[in-house]
Amino acid sequence: MKYQIKGDYLIIEINDDFVGMSVEQFFNYFHLSRKTIHLLKQNKQYALNNNFVTSNTLLKQGDSLKVLAFDQGIDYQFQSYPLTVVYEDDFILIVNKPINTAIYPEDKNGLNTLCNYVANYYLETNQYIPVRHIHRLDKDTTGLVMFCKCAFLQPKLDIMMANKEIKRTYLAIVDGIVKKDLIINKPISRDRHQNRMRTSNNGKKAVTKVHVLKRSFPSNYTVVKCDLQTGRKHQIRVHLSSINHPLLSDPLYGTNSKLINRVALHGYKLEFNHPFFNQKITVFADIPDDMKFIGKIDLQ
């Protein structure tokens, strides 16, 4: 889809995918809320071929739809950090989260989180937009985190994440020898007695595909690739612990290991169909130094 950005507005050239849709159907395709659509109408913050039209106006091939799409203002404290940007376009930013880093601070004045580092990156690259993460990783988990740069596109990305249309793949190192590939299908709920999650028949559906990459018999560990079919809190950690193969150095679901001093989990791949360009995007994050002892493995 061809487009231009002028200030806070996105100018879109309508192609075959949207011909015959009404303006409102186009907004619904991107999952804009009723409130957002109402405000766009009320404030006349969209135009078709430079004219404000009713939302039931049908789109034609080559039409130019102009819509307010970007918010202004970086909303976290700036903090310099050598951030690793893995992918970026006008709508999406994907970075590699470092070790021992929370996604966001407890309040907007906090520091030492990924949102602070992204805020500084936006400042340095003259992008005065809010910092909006699409998903999270635990503080000790390294790997890929997606941020949305365009308010118009964020609801679509949120829905894609909820529907597992953004595929996340993790590298994990677990205690013991996992004998074969498997699918762990065990519901997960909050543990009422401890501050953690657990498998439970009364929990929410949770499915994790586990593929063995390497077994180390002398050191008694297994390197596995985990594909999330659902997205429950601590899902990989809980599921692997439930089959007696907890992640190395997992303080909640396992025990400390001499091999690594944090949870041995790394989000190394994201795959998704770009909601604007309609192209498949696949990105990878380098294995962090403290997990490189696993040896050479073809993760792709």
| Dihedral sign of CA atoms 86, 92, 93, 94 in order | negative
What letter does residue 288 receive in the DSSP assignment? P
33, 166, 218, 248 from 116: Cα distances, Å: 28, 24, 42, 29
Are β-strands 265-273 and 142-148 bridged in parallel, bridged antiparallel, or unpaired? parallel
Catalytic status, residue 138: yes
Q: For residue 31, how many other CB atoms are within 10 A of its CB?
A: 16
Q: How far apart are CA 230 and CA 139, in angstroms?
A: 20
Which residues, 6 or more positions from 124, have their beta carbon under 8 angstroms from its beta carbon?
none
**Rounded-to-integer distance, Cα 110 and Cα 116, Å:** 8
Q: Determine the Cα–Cα distance for residues 232 and 37; give it in Å rounded to an integer.
A: 31
Catalytic residue among 16, 63, 71, 138: 138
Alpha-carbon 11 to chain mean position: 26
Q: How is residue 96 written in tokens?
A: 């590699």
Burial class of residue 239 (count of CB atoms within 10 Å of its CB; 0-12, 13-18, 19+): buried
* Catalytic residue set: 138
